[in-house]
Amino acid sequence: MSFTKLALIEPILKALSAEGYTTPTPIQEQAIPILLERRDLLGCAQTGTGKTAAFAIPILQILEAEKGPERGPRPIKALILTPTRELAIQIGESFAAYGKYLNLRHTVIFGGVPQHSQTLALKAGVDIMIATPGRLLDLMNQRFVHLQHIELFVLDEADRMLDMGFIHDVKKVIAKLPAQRQSLFFSATMPPDVSKLADTILRKPVRVEVTPVSSTAEKVKQAVYFVDKTDKKRLLIHLLNDKAIESALVFARTKHGADKVAKDLLKAGIQAEAIHGNKSQNARQRALTNFKNRQTRVLVATDIAARGIDVDELSHVINYELPNVPETYVHRIGRTGRAGHDGIALSFCDAEEKEYLRDINKLITKSIPVVDNHPYPMETAAASSGTGQSSRTQSGNGANGSRGESAGSDFRGGSRRRFGRR
């Protein structure tokens, strides 16, 4: 199916064509017709499935159809509530891209920066507002934001909202919305608390579910390296010395760990930056922009900070530390292999992380191949004990037969790719 089959207006089709989009992803194909029928929607979808376009495109079309002659400041008609600043900014970029040929205004509201430019945009009038909960409530309390005219409400990344402790702020915002509205609810997972929240927001929703959490993108090639914790730094530098890895998103478990990995890479002459919650908004956005533009080769991130990172055609994800929640592994590697492209996910596993690996293998219902032939192996007994039936992968040795000369070469290569946004 092509976007031309979804009853979209010509200005939106033209914008999609300019972005190089011709075929909708499964969630776009399912959700767009439902939303154009003005139905509520419950979307169970991970980041990377194209869900931003799935709600942004119909919102733009609905508001364009309702637009009348301008008389005074525009009231806010659509509100997208999202947990992180990075994700809010990227959603704003999507609205700008898909609505470039429409006369609709949007603005992005988030904390960590002065509010002056944001309040100026609000005073001028906007049709669509993308916001994080804390700054939105601040501006509502200062009477810069009024929600009585909202027709379309999107709660994005609902499970992450709960993880980050935003549930009370979300409920305060919802209490100010008109009862008569169209609501869209997106979450990568549906634990009981999330389902309960959805029930309070949606009316007779249509449920759309794509890419269940237990599955991983088919085109993501996965591998695990057993390595002592003290050797992880050296193994990472060894892998990144292969220039075939033009850029990589590296995951650390803590903010301090992310900073340390980035510092170690810089010392080794590898351009790297860290992104996490303790960084200022400007620093985080600068690091993300540098990564997208390939000025920075490696971005080291914590899970919460990475939730808003949306980079098309990212070839490599490296789990420097395995997550203790197996679903998080699926979310991490979903950063690559997106929208039909192939990708590579490499993981380091030390002795303390073997249990995490077992849980991941169980969730994805297969064993991640093990790369045995690399310069920093664990003792055989330590590596093999308790890890289940993980398959072994022999990465080809170099011509001289020295250990690790081309360790991991099956997983590090890849065609040169360009970055974009979706």
**Kind and range of the H or E run holding 81:** strand 78-81
Question: For the chain, what is the mean pLDDT?
Answer: 84
Beta carbons of 41 and 205 less than 8 angstroms apart: yes
Q: What confidence category does residue 415 fall into, taking pLDDT thresholds of 50, 70 and 90?
A: very low
Task: Name residue 317's beta-bridge partners.
Answer: 249, 345
**Pairwise pLDDT comparison (290 vs 19), residue with the higher score:** 290
Lowest mean pLDDT segment, chosen from 47-56, 226-235, 401-410:
401-410
Amino acid at 158: A
Long-range contacts of 361-369 (CB under 8 A, 24+ apart): 361/388, 361/390, 362/326, 363/213, 363/214, 363/326, 363/327, 363/329, 363/330, 364/214, 364/215, 364/216, 364/326, 364/329, 364/330, 365/214, 367/391, 368/222, 368/223, 368/224, 369/222, 369/223, 369/224, 369/393
Instruction: Note whether 225 and 374 are within 8 A (CB).
Output: yes
Q: With 50 as the cut, is the pLDDT of residue 400 above it?
A: no
Q: Residue 202 carries which side chain, given as an amino acid letter?
A: L
| Confidence (pLDDT) at 209 | 85
According to the model, what pLDDT value does residue 341 have?
65
Kindly state the percentage of the chain with pLDDT values over 90. 53
Question: Could you give the domains of the chain?
Answer: 3-209 (3.40.50.300), 220-412 (3.40.50.300)
pLDDT at 262: 96
Q: Please give the average per-residue pLDDT across 114-138, as a whole number.
A: 93
Whether the model clears a pTM of 0.75, i.e. scores above it, the answer is no
Q: Model confidence at 392, in pLDDT bands (50, 70, 90)? A: low
Q: Is the pLDDT of residue 152 over 60?
A: yes
Residues 6+ apart with CB under 8 A from 317: 248, 249, 250, 251, 332, 333, 335, 336, 343, 344, 345, 346
Average confidence (pLDDT) over 182-195: 89
Q: Is the pLDDT of residue 326 over 90?
A: no
- pLDDT exceeds cutoff 70 at 401: no
* pLDDT value at residue 202: 96
Residue 287: C-alpha distances to residues 122, 132, 249, 280 (Å): 27, 20, 12, 11
Q: What does the pLDDT read at residue 216?
A: 60
Residue range 309-330: average pLDDT? 83
Q: Is the pLDDT of residue 350 over 90?
A: yes
Q: What is the pLDDT of residues 232-286, one digit of tens each?
A: 999 999 999 998 888 899 999 888 999 999 999 999 999 999 988 677 767 888 8
Is the pLDDT at 172 greater than 90? The verdict is yes
Please write down the long-range contacts of 65-72, taking CB distance under 8 Å and 24 or more positions apart. 65/9, 66/151, 67/103, 67/104, 67/127, 72/125
Top pLDDT among 108 and 68 is at: 108
pLDDT at 289 exceeding the cut of 60? yes
What DSSP string runs through 191-210?
-HHHHHHHHHH-SSPEEEE-
Q: How sure is the predictor about 380, in pLDDT bands with cuts at 50, 70 and 90?
A: low
Q: Does the pLDDT value for residue 376 go beyond 50?
A: yes
Instruction: Give the bridge partners for 185, in sequence order.
Output: 42, 155
Per-residue pLDDT, averaged over 380-386, amounts to 48
| Mean pLDDT score, 188-206 | 90
Task: Please state the rounded mean pLDDT for residues 203-228.
Answer: 82
Is the pLDDT reported for residue 133 higher than 80? yes
3-state secondary structure of 145: coil
Lowest average pLDDT, out of 76-85, 131-140, 217-226, goes to 217-226
Please state the rounded mean pLDDT for residues 284-301: 88
